[in-house]
Amino acid sequence: MEWPLAEWNLPSGFATLRRLMEARMQKTGRREYVQVLRLLESFDIHELQAAVRKALQLGAVGFDAVKHLVLCQVEKRPPKLDLDVSPYLPRAHVATTSAASHMCLLSEDAA
């Protein structure tokens, strides 16, 4: 299927955002990407580009995250992203490291 917005000359980051959104959410991702583009009805392209760039840096790939970031930028307030309400974002699980595990790395067996 031909992408109807293929002729748009969008700044860097938008194509990456689209690709990630579609990969993670398939059809829903395409709809969310169009919602991101519709933010151009209310925001300047440079403001939206900065929000897209920040969302990609944070791994917060979704319409809600981009909208929140652009609003924070315009309102000059720090973003507060609650990733628990974004089921399509990858989850990071970090276990507590034990001292024994660390000492194993320093032992001769680890070399």
89 Cβ contact list (under 8 Å, min separation 6): 24, 59, 60, 61, 62, 83
| Interval 62-97: pLDDT, tens | 999 999 999 998 888 888 766 565 555 566 677 787
Q: What is the pLDDT of residue 1?
A: 47
pTM above 0.75, yes or no: no
Mean predicted lDDT score pLDDT of the chain = 82
2: burial class by Cβ within 10 Å (0-12, 13-18, 19+)?
Answer: exposed
